Structure 1
């Protein structure tokens, strides 16, 4: 079968380690299921793996890809919940299982014609979602859902600031918060991305710009570059939820502001399977949908990753494996 595999790592030239070629079809172990992948989507996690960030070289080669939608062995349309973990070890929450692994970390991922995952990771695909749309959801939208509704517990009328409107998690957070009835502010250095967020219903400002009011919740995935602005925009007693730091991991602490204004800073990673099911239900009931920047065959995956690295996207890149089985 055709697959995109990380075979080496390079901080300066990550795509040099991504090999496209034929590999054996995976064997199914007990308790796992085989999925015929119809669509997968690109995530920065794949790029970090190719750069050698957070992924040991001794775990290579590894088929990449964290998101997948397709058919199980019985012909059922499914979306793959991307965290392979035990809810029992996480005291009911897979995201805090110390042995958890995102798909493609310790198990081959979704950039292939076939994929095997634990059977519990298969979730029925709602009829109203296309396979391409469904493949955009597991990592980015699942992360945004947990940030907003589990960690920050937003409700209709809350004021929410989302930093970096062009990112996958950020764009998902904008759409989900709007669907929940929140007032959403979004920042971006790009006028094009600000206009896109405005077309969804968000109110936008340039990165670092002054908001007309303090917000109840900040969704932070940028990190060092926006951290100070996030805290300044947050009302006393408000909540900042952080799930990433694409611009750096060492922001100014500003502890005086945090404790004097009793601001809450919460970390968030991924989502539970239950939260993912709730996300799919919310999308069915509200009509919220991901933005697909473009689709391309798996054979063109290097081009898709280059667009992501260059920042030339306003949504997700979806890749489709060949229709013929191997």
Structure 2
């Protein structure tokens, strides 16, 4: 079957490590696993990190990339694939598709049957394919960890990427006042068009916020602390611009701030996210849709750093 996979690692030029070609049919790890015919998938920075060799050993090459997928199950049902699988061989007890088990950027993918959720009627396959990783992470950051229902104002650092842009769209759909930072003026204009107040990094906000969505790291963390209201939650799911920020501990205890780490979400979280998007008519912010025949171009688009929202791959084209 055709697939996009890591054939080697290249930290300096991850796109050079990407191969598009034939790979064996997916393997079932247990009796409860099924094979899904993939209809649509989306890319994540996790895929670029894999091509760099982060979190992936040479003993697992070649590895089909991709965490997100919408497809057709063996009974002919349209399904969304939850990408976290039980994995006794991983210290976490679980792993993402494309870490140990082959990923979704292929004609077919194998997963436990319990990882399949019905595709809501109101969501297209290409829209739903954006949700299982980046949007699920943003959903959990806002709800379970950030307890956004207890607050009115949200700050999203580094909007433009998949998780941050998802957090902006979801928080707005929840009726919150949303502030979002970006170094790129064009991205700030697009953020404002979504309904958020867009500001340059480090800009003083007109109010302190109850929840901060932090995916940038050291470059923005001091601003996150200074922008937080008393007893606010600063939820961290990434550190693309440094993972060792200087932290003012006096501000944390004086303001009674909570710094919370999170990654991905549960299957139930994904079910809630799918229902929320269908009921509230929330659609993912899509940067571009590429046919599978141009999956290399999709990776190049993600790697460019110019993306706003999700890069999607249509497997039917």
Q: What interval of TM-score do these two structures reach, taking the shorter chain for normalisation?
A: over 0.9
Other-structure match for 1:177: 171
Residue 105 of structure 2 corresponds to residue 111 of structure 1 = yes
Deviation at 1:97, TM superposition (A): 8.2
**SS of structure 1 residue aligned to 2:92:** coil
Residue 65 of structure 2 corresponds to residue 60 of structure 1 = no
The separation in 2 between residues aligned to 1:157 and 1:147, in whole angstroms, is 13
Deviation at 1:321, TM superposition (A): 2.4
Deviation at 1:285, TM superposition (A): 1.3
The separation in 1 between residues aligned to 2:16 and 2:127, in whole angstroms, is 29
The separation in 2 between residues aligned to 1:228 and 1:197, in whole angstroms, is 22
The separation in 2 between residues aligned to 1:230 and 1:27, in whole angstroms, is 44
Other-structure match for 2:13: 13
The separation in 1 between residues aligned to 2:292 and 2:179, in whole angstroms, is 35
Q: What TM-score comes out, normalization by structure 2 length?
A: 0.96
2:295 to 291, 296, 301: 301
The separation in 2 between residues aligned to 1:125 and 1:156, in whole angstroms, is 30
Is the 8 Å Cα contact of residues 55 and 99 (structure 2) preserved in structure 1?
Answer: no
Gapped regions of structure 2 (runs ≥ 5) = none
Q: What TM-score comes out, normalization by structure 1 length?
A: 0.93
The separation in 2 between residues aligned to 1:77 and 1:156, in whole angstroms, is 35
**SS of structure 2 residue aligned to 1:155:** helix
Deviation beyond 3 Å, 4+ runs, structure 1? none
Other-structure match for 2:81: 80
The separation in 1 between residues aligned to 2:126 and 2:168, in whole angstroms, is 20
Residue 184 of structure 2 corresponds to residue 201 of structure 1 = no
The separation in 2 between residues aligned to 1:4 and 1:236, in whole angstroms, is 47
Other-structure match for 2:46: 45
Deviation at 1:135, TM superposition (A): 0.5
Other-structure match for 1:31: 32
Gapped regions of structure 1 (runs ≥ 5) = 90-95
Q: Aligned ranges for residues 273-292 of structure 1 at < 5 Å?
A: 273-292=267-286
Other-structure match for 1:93: none
Other-structure match for 1:92: none
**SS of structure 2 residue aligned to 1:21:** strand
Aligned length: 315
Is the 8 Å Cα contact of residues 277 and 283 (structure 2) preserved in structure 1?
Answer: yes
Other-structure match for 1:235: 229
Residue 258 of structure 2 corresponds to residue 264 of structure 1 = yes
- Gap change, CA 1:278 and 1:178, over 3 Å in 2: same
Deviation at 1:27, TM superposition (A): 4.2
Other-structure match for 1:187: 181
Residue 242 of structure 2 corresponds to residue 248 of structure 1 = yes
| 1:170-217, Cα deviation, whole Å (9 max, x unpaired) | 111111111111111001011221111111111111111110111111
Is the 8 Å Cα contact of residues 113 and 322 (structure 1) preserved in structure 2?
Answer: no
CA RMSD of aligned residues (A): 1.6
**SS of structure 2 residue aligned to 1:226:** helix
The separation in 2 between residues aligned to 1:82 and 1:57, in whole angstroms, is 22
Residue 131 of structure 2 corresponds to residue 137 of structure 1 = yes
1:158 to 152, 160, 171: 152
